[in-house]
Amino acid sequence: MDNRQNVTPALIFAITVATIGS
């Protein structure tokens, strides 16, 4: 059950792209 470790990088990447895109 290591789904959280796979969601962490995805969430950070989404926030980073959203911040740079904005």
pLDDT tens sequence across 5-14: 778 888 999 9
Q: What is the pLDDT of residue 11?
A: 92
> Is pLDDT of 20 > 90?
yes
Q: How far is CA 14 from CA 1, 2, 4, 5, 8, in A?
A: 22, 19, 15, 15, 10
> Is pLDDT of 1 > 60?
no
Q: What is the pLDDT of residue 17?
A: 95
Q: What is the pLDDT of residue 21?
A: 87
pTM value > 0.75: no
